[in-house]
């Protein structure tokens, strides 16, 4: 494993993925975490977090200098869908208000979306 192979956008994607995973365990709605209150959204967010976390790991472990674009694109698309779902939930509002986990996930999925697309576009 060579950390020198990891591009800055892949480090950002990895950090964003970690933040998404942390956000799952923080309060989202009325003191409930995303894993206990959302069902499918919580699972999608967990997949996005794990995918983002995989960016720097796969890149440093790869014998090639670039992580396959298909993997980066897939994770970036999932992050984009997750971000859109969170924005939609925000626009619909919540009677009890949103917790810190929701806002952290919102920012982290945006960061993962941007860094993922930037990382995937470097090879085009």
Write the pLDDT tens digit of every residue in 17-53: 999 999 999 998 877 888 776 677 888 899 999 999 9
Tokens of 84: 């859109």
Say how far apart CA 37 and CA 71 lie, in whole Å: 29
Structure-model confidence comparison of residues 28 and 120, the more confident one:
28
Give the pLDDT confidence score for residue 66 in this predicted structure: 58
What are the tens digits of pLDDT across the range 66-116?
556 777 788 889 999 999 999 998 898 877 788 899 999 999 999 999 988
Rg (alpha carbons) of the chain, rounded to whole number: 15
Give, in degrees to the nearest 5, the angle at Cα 107 between 33 and 51.
75
Give the pLDDT confidence score for residue 113 in this predicted structure: 92
Domain span at 62: 3-121
> Burial level of 77, CB count in 10 A (0-12/13-18/19+)?
middle
First-to-last alpha carbon distance for the chain, in angstroms, is 25
Residue of 91, 81, 87 lying closest to 106 (CA atoms): 87
Say how far apart CA 113 and CA 6 lie, in whole Å: 17
Give the pLDDT confidence score for residue 96 in this predicted structure: 76
Total domains in the fold of the chain: 1
Give the pLDDT confidence score for residue 60 in this predicted structure: 78
Say how far apart CA 107 and CA 73 lie, in whole Å: 19
Q: pTM to 2 decimals?
A: 0.86
């Amino acid at each position: 494993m060579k950390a020198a192979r990891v591009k800055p956008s892949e480090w950002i994607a990895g950090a964003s993925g970690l933040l998404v995973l942390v956000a799952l365990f923080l309060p989202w709605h009325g003191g409930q975490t995303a894993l206990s209150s959302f069902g499918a959204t919580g699972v999608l967010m967990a997949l996005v977090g794990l995918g983002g976390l995989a960016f720097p790991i796969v890149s440093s472990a790869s014998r090639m200098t670039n992580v396959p674009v298909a993997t980066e694109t897939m994770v970036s698309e999932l992050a984009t869908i997750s971000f859109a779902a969170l924005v939609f939930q925000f626009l619909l509002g919540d009677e009890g208000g949103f917790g810190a986990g929701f806002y952290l996930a919102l920012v982290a999925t945006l960061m993962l979306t941007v860094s993922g697309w930037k990382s995937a576009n470097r090879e085009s």
